[in-house]
Amino acid sequence: MDALKQELKKNIIEQLNLEDFTVEDILDDDPLFGDGLGLDSIDALELIVLLDKDYGIKLTDPIEGKIVFKSIEVLANYITENRTK
Partner 1 sequence: MKNNLNIVAYCSIKNHVVALNGIPLITKDHDLTFSEFSKEVYKELKMDYSKFFKMDDQCKLAILISEILFNHIKIDSKNKENIAIVLSNRSASLNTDRKYQETISNKENYYPSPAVFVYTLPNITIGEICIKHKIKGENVFFVSEAFNATLLKQYASCLFQNKKSKQILCGWIDFDDDQYQAFLYLVSEHGNRKFNQKSIKKIYNENIWMH
Partner 2 sequence: MKPVFITANNIISPLGFTSEDNIIQIEKDKSGIVLQDNIGALPCYASIINDELLNSAFKQIGSPESYTKLEKMMMLSLQDTIMKTDFSISDRTALVIATTKGNIDVLNTKTSNFSPDRAYISILGEKIRNFFGFDNEPIIISNACVSGILSVAVAKRLIQNNFYDNAFIVAGDIVSEFTLSGFQSFQAISEKPCKPYSKHRNGITIGEAAAAVAITNQNNSKHSIQIIGDGSHNDANHISGPSRDGEGLFLSIQSAMEEAEIAPSNIDYISAHGTATLYNDEMETIAFNRAKLENVPLNSLKGYYGHTLGASGLLESIIGLHSMKNNMLYTSLGMDELGVSMPLNVIQKKKKAEIKVCLKTASGFGGSNTAVLFKKLTLEK
CB atoms within 10 A of CB 30: 16
Interaction partner, residue 60 (partner 2, partner 1, none; CB < 5-8 Å by kind): partner 2
Question: Residue 6 CB, nearest distance to partner 2 (Å)?
Answer: 27
Interaction partner, residue 62 (partner 2, partner 1, none; CB < 5-8 Å by kind): partner 2
* Interacting residues with partner 1 (CB under 8 A): 15-20, 38, 42-43, 45-46, 49, 52-53
